[in-house]
Amino acid sequence: MAGVALVALFAVRPWGPVPMYVVGAVLLLLVAGGLIRPAAKATSARPTGPTPPRESTLSPRARWERACARHDEVLSAYGRYELDPEMLLRFPAMWDLSAAPVVAFQDALEQASELRTDTFDRAVSGEYVDAVAALRTTWAAADRYARTTGTSGLGFDDAKDCERGLKLLRHAEGTEAAEQATYLRQVVATLDRLADRGIVASRPPARAELERRAQRAIGS
């Protein structure tokens, strides 16, 4: 505080060059005596949480286990396209086998599935880890392609069927009993037509679930 007061007094009352030297000397003495502390340098905040281990530092078994978990993540994300009828109808481009991102993903999925073992096998674990890395990359590209394309790559009739199926599905969600069952069965019929034309996956799990929901609606 003494140093601040002295500097402030000097600032409001200029005394000429000689007193300036005196003030400078006094400030140096105050710093040396600990009455004035130099400003601390600003430090950038750094995350304090644990840093995930680098792939190169993991043992072969640990790398294989991580690859298995990542493989399962891709399968779960891909499964939503087949389990959710809305995903089927909104993003049919996921089954467009003329699209390079989709073909690359399917090839990578097949390769990773062939190399996966139930237990750790050092002889093939390295290949499997590399295959899963390729799978994750191709999945990201295929997922992005499907979501950005939607139904825009379809012909008029196919796109209209997808739109109609979505409307029927939403109508079903707002009804119950026999009326709901009727809507759900129309969605199933729409999926079958699209599957016959190769627009969506053939008999996906979502189709069976829709039929079960229709049966439950009738029995309710």
pLDDT 10s digits, 140-163: 999 999 999 999 999 999 999 999
Residue type, 86: E
Burial class (CB in 10 A: 0-12, 13-18, 19+), 84: middle
The closest of 173, 148, 160 to 199, measured between CA atoms, is: 160
| SS3 per-residue string spanning 42-94 | CCCCCCCCCCCCCHHHCCHHHHHHHHHHHHHHHHHHHHHHHHCHHHHHHCHHH
pLDDT digits (tens, 9 = 90+) for 28-61: 444 455 544 554 444 545 556 556 556 668 899 9
pLDDT digits (tens, 9 = 90+) for 185-195: 999 999 999 99
Q: How many CB atoms lie within 10 A of CB 175?
A: 14
Cα(169)–Cα(74) distance, rounded to whole angstroms? 26
Q: At 21, is the pLDDT very low, low, confident or very high (cuts 50, 70, 90)? A: very low
Q: At 1, is the pLDDT very low, low, confident or very high (cuts 50, 70, 90)? A: low
Residue 120 sits at φ, ψ, to 5 deg, of -65, 130
Indicate the domain borders of the chain.
2-26, 59-153, 154-220
